[in-house]
Structures are given as structure tokens and as C-alpha cells.
Amino acid sequence: MKGNRVAWLIAAAVAWGWTWRHLSIEWMTNEQYQYGLGVPPLVVLLAWRRWPGRCEEGSRGRVWVIAVAGWVVFSLGELLRWHDPIWRATGGLLAAGATLVTVAGFWRIGGSALVRREGFPLLFAWVAVPWPVPIELYLTQNLLHFVTSVTAGLLGLMGIGVLQHGNAIEMSNGVLGIDDACSGIRSLQASLMAALFLGEYMRLTWGRRVGLVAGGAVVALGLNCVRVLGLALTMHARGSAVAMRYHDAAGDAATAATFAGVLLLALWMGRGAEEKLETGVSGDASGFDGAVACAAYAAVPVLAWVWFASIGAMGAVGENRRQWTLSYSHMGPAWQAEAVEPRPGEREGLRFSTWQGCQVETPEGWKAQVLHIGWRRGTSMPSLAFYHTPELCMPWVGWTETGQPHKMNVPARMGAIPCVAYRFGQEGQAIVVLQSLSNGGETGYHVIDPQHMEDRWHRLRTLWQKPLRQVNEELLVYLPDFGGEKAESDAAAEVLNAVIAGPER
């Protein structure tokens, strides 16, 4: 029955369309995943090219086992999307559910032959799924260290005196900070997508495909080192202000050159390769099970909405009330304050809606820095920013962690502020960084650094209660290390009482 075959394809399209709708938020807000916007049409193209060939109708029993398993996984992903949308597991579960219903549909239409033939396009769809944050941060940190070390070494060979501090290069006329955007992770992931697509499109042998992926990675990392070296030489010759003006353009050029390099490499590897396409017609699938699968998957978003509406949790999603704001109305005459502007890497990585920053000097003569970052409703803190805690970013600029993170309640004027405190040292200096997050005007340790302060699976155990409010506010305080938690808490309270007002009502 031709109509049943179409219904199975519609069920797969519904599942993937909803999955890509969710993932598009990450694609549009995280530069390193912007290539994901091009993946859906490429998946359709590859699947279409592999469609012709031998087919036989698959057994209903096996198909329904796969389809029901996919529906359960897809439903869990949709519930998690309402409950905790920045968790990367959400996109993974939705993609897994969409993959399973697609496998079920292909099996029903064309049996194992069609499933094997369409296996690569299905796997290729996963290149647009954001990586787990721990893996992404590990790779980014190591790539940053690699790029910084290579650049510092090349500058030294050119006779330019430099000092490397973590992922920062100190030169005679300033410090070049190698931020996340310069790590090469964006070019590396884009080269992986391009190499996998071109290898399939050009029907390269599996050995050549592996070589194309490896060659693309070398091209991406090499071009990124050239990019950072160019910025460093520009800074050495014309100053940091001029170098920063070329920062974004250099990144775009490196990405474009990476795609061009992978394409040239694919054309070279594809010489003499013959494209072999199977011929034949697709199978059929009698019955109405495709319509049932289509209706079941299309109902998942509606059922999730009904569930959370029934428990009165809809108002918790996307609340935008702010807990803090920077204000100097309580600062005494003996205090001094200077505005702090965000760096390009901070703009790109955090994707904030509002930024307030200041460096203050107290009457006692010691200095502190306070950053207040906010996200508007509908543009909550990106997932990578949520996990980008001080213990991850401070070592990248040369600081060494000197103690375990610990909880701290800062007795501020507007009420106690729960924070996580991190201690760092560098060349005889010692500082403490306090971080606090707020979701919809409420603070608590459950939203601050769950890696250390909360069981990660607690977020799943509360899945049936109500959605977590999306984090829309971050407060960071940088202080000298006074050698004890009580002294640090009192110093933080002194600074925050001088520059922080709130909460909003």
C-alpha cells in the first residue's frame, strides 16, 4: 500500500523536524555549531541518492519493537526539553528517538537491505547534534593549549620575545588572550561534517574516507594556528586594538578556507573513483501501521504540553525577573570604580543580552571585580556557558586552581547570596572567584555548578514535578585571597553592598 509507505516517511519527517527545531537553538546561538543549519538538507540529499535499490517488505513484529522503543526515547527527550532545555542529553534523546522511528520505517518499507543502504545518511544526521559538554570542554581546553604553545613557539623562532601564561601570550605591547573562538574547535567540527558528506557524496572507499577526515582535521588545526599567529603578528606590529578588529574576520576566513581545503582534498582523493548507484524500485508496506506511527510521534509534543499545563508549571518557563543589578548608589566617597567591557570571546561564548562590569578599589586599597551578566526571556544562558565555570576558564589564562570549590553564603544587604567559591594562584598572586546563578529571580545551589554541588540525575528525578526555570542571570566576583572563608565572605559582602542593588520586584 503506497499510502502506508508515505505515512512511515511522514512519521520520520515529523520526528526529525521536531528534533531539528530544538537543535536549531544551539545552532543559532553557538558559533561552533552553526554548520548544523546546513545538515538537514544534506541528510535528505544523501538519503534520496541511496533510495534506489533492492527492497523487500520487513516483518511487522520487529518493526514495532523498534518503533515503540523510539517513541519512548523520543517522549523522554520531549519531557526533558520542557524540564531542562539546556541539557545536551535533550537533543541526544530526541535524535535517538527520530533515528529509531526512521529505522523502523525503512525496515517496514524495504527490509534490512534498505536499512543498510540508508545507514550512513542516518548516522550523518548526528554530526549536527551538539557534543556532550564534558567532551567538548576537554577538547576545547586541549586545543587552546596546543594553539597557544604553537603560536608562542613560532613567535620565538621569529625573534619576538613572548611569555606564555596558560592560554595567554604576553608580548611587549600587551597580552593576547587565546579564547574559545581561537581554539579551532569550530573549524575542526565543520571539517568533520564536510569530510563525512563529501566522502559519501563522492562514494569514496572507506579507507579514503578515513584519510579525508584525518586530512580535514589537519587542515582545520593548521589554518587556525595560522589565524592566531596572524593576530599575534598584527598585535606586535600595530597594537591590540587593531588585532581585535580583525579577530572575527580572521575566524570567518579560517572556516571558509577549511571548507575549501577539505573540498580540494576530497577532489584529489576522488580521482578515478567511480560512482556506483544501485537500480531498482522501493518496496511497499501493506496495512495502516505507518499512520499509527505518524500519529503517535506527532502527539508527543502535545502530550508533553498537556502534562506540564495540568500540573500548573507553565509559568515557570522563561521567567525573566532579575535578582540583581549593578548600581553605585550605595558606594561611599572613598571608593573608586571603573567599567569593565567584555572581550570578543566572552561575547561569542556567553551570548548574553545584558552585561554590567566594574572594577572597584575599596577604601582599604585592595581591588575587586564584579560582573553581572543577563539573558532575556527566550535567550537563556547557552548550555556551554552554564558549564563554563571559573575552574575551567581561569586555568586557560594561566591561573592554577589551589583548592577545591566550596559553598559560601555571602551576607549581602539584600539577603544572603549563595555562591560557589574557587581559589586560584599565579606567580605569587592568589585570588578567589565567586559564582552565583539565578533562574527567574531565585538563587540556589541547585543551579550553581551541578558537577560539584548537586547530583546530576536529580534533574531527572524531578522530571514529573515541574520545569526548571532557565538560568537568566550570572554574578561573578573576583577578590584577593584573604586566607579564610570568613574573611572572603566579609570582603565579598563589602563589595556587593557597594555595587549591587536588587532584587527586582
pLDDT over 90, % of the chain: 14
Residue type, 421: A
Range of the domain at 33: 2-130
Residue 201 vs residues 124, 209, 275: alpha-carbon distances, Å: 12, 11, 9
> Does 100 reside within a domain?
yes
C-alpha 470/C-alpha 496 separation (Å) is: 24
- 122 lies in the same domain as 208: no
**Could you tell me if 81 and 31 lie in one domain?**
yes
Binning pLDDT at 50, 70 and 90, where does residue 39 land?
very high
Closest CA to 474 of 359, 326, 343: 326
Q: What is the DSSP string of 177-234?
A: E--GGGSSHHHHHHHHHHHHHHHHHTT--HHHHHHHHHHHHHHHHHHHHHHHHHHHHH
For residues 90 and 80, the answer to whether their CB atoms sit within 8 Å is yes
Do 254 and 324 fall into the same domain?
no
Q: Rounded to the nearest 5°, which phi and psi values hold at 361?
A: -120, 125
Strands (E), 295-405: 325-326, 336-339, 354-361, 367-374, 400-401
Q: Specify whether 337 is located in the same domain as 465.
A: yes
CA distance 311 to 466: 7
283 within a domain of the structure (yes/no): no
Which residue type is seen at 24? Answer: S
Least confident stretch, 112-121, 196-205, 221-230, 300-309: 300-309
Helix axes 39-49, 2-29, angle to 10 degrees: 150
Amino acid symbol at 459: R
User: pLDDT (tens digit, 9 = 90+) per residue, 344-398?
Assistant: 667 766 778 888 899 998 888 899 999 998 887 655 566 666 666 787 777 766 6
Structurally, the chain folds into a number of domains equal to: 3
Residue 295 lies in a domain: no
Residue 287 resides in a domain: no
> What is the per-residue pLDDT for 343?
74
One domain, residues 495 and 348: yes
| Residue whose entry in the numeric block shows the C-alpha cell 625573534 | 159
Residue 423 carries which side chain, given as an amino acid letter?
Answer: R
**Span 455-462, mean pLDDT?**
58
Based on the fold, state whether residues 111 and 140 are members of the same structural domain: no
Is the pLDDT confidence value at 316 over 50?
Answer: no
Torsion over CA of 280, 281, 283 and 284, rounded to 10 degrees?
-160
Which residue is listed with cell 587565546?
Answer: 178
Q: Averaged over 37-49, what is the pLDDT?
A: 92
Higher-confidence residue of 446 and 230: namely: 230
Q: What's the sign of the alpha-carbon dihedral 476, 352, 145, 89? A: positive
Count CB neighbours of 247 within 10 A: 18
Are 121 and 143 within one domain?
no
Among the ranges given (51-60, 100-109, 121-130, 247-256), the one the predictor scored with the smallest mean pLDDT: 51-60
- Whether residues 452 and 382 share a domain: the answer is yes
User: Could you tell me if 137 and 163 lie in one domain?
Assistant: yes
The residue from 130, 162, 185 where one domain ends is 130
Distances (CA, A) of 222 to 218, 257, 262: 6, 11, 12
Whether residue 141 lies inside any domain: the answer is yes
pLDDT for res 451: 45
Q: Same domain for 126 and 33? A: yes
Query: Per-residue pLDDT tens for 394-415?
Result: 776 667 888 888 888 888 877 7
Helix (H, G, I), strand (E, B) or coil at 433: strand
Q: Are residues 170 and 242 in the same domain?
A: yes
DSSP conformational letter for 32: G
Among 82, 100, 130, where does a domain finish? 130
CA–CA gap between residue 105 and residue 7 (Å, rounded): 9
d(CA 376, CA 25): 14
Judge whether 44 lies within some domain: yes
Comparing CA positions, the residue from 149, 151, 141, 150 lying closest to residue 183 is: 141
7 and 110 together in one domain: yes
**pLDDT mean over 37-65:** 83
| Structural domain ending residue among the three candidates 85, 106, 130 | 130
Distance CA 86, CA 486 (A): 34
Q: Give the integer Cα–Cα distance in Å for 38 and 251.
A: 19
pLDDT band at 123 (very low <50, low <70, confident <90, very high): very high
* 490 is a domain residue: yes
pLDDT score for 307: 72
Q: Is residue 277 part of a domain?
A: no
